[in-house]
């Protein structure tokens, strides 16, 4: 039996909403890189829809961060403010 290599994934442009969301969460300390992927996806959905507060997106992601939720929310909000996005 042979295995095939995984299909290649082209990253989103940094200036897109998806690139912005995943770029912002990469600086947060997490116990598993997949947690940052889930958080990036939740942030991207929040940026796209903005139906719930940002706190809900952070909680729904279920990311196991090495910092508390309040500090993570503060860091994400600061990064969004740097990009000109109001929370």
Domain ranges of the chain: 17-82
Per-residue pLDDT of 25-56, as tens digits, reads 998 999 888 999 999 999 999 999 998 899 99
> To which residue do tokens 């909680």 refer?
59
Average pLDDT, the chain: 90
The arithmetic mean of pLDDT across residues 59-81, rounded, is 94
Rounded to whole angstroms, how far apart are CA atoms 33 and 55? 21
């Amino acid at each position: 039996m042979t295995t095939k290599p995984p299909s290649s994934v082209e990253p989103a442009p940094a200036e897109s909403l998806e690139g912005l969301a995943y770029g912002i969460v990469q600086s947060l300390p997490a116990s598993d890189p997949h947690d940052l992927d889930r958080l990036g996806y939740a942030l991207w959905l929040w940026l796209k829809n903005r139906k719930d507060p940002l706190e809900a997106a952070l909680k729904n992601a279920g990311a196991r961060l090495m910092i508390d939720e309040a500090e993570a929310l503060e860091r994400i909000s600061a990064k969004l403010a740097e990009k000109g996005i109001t929370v």
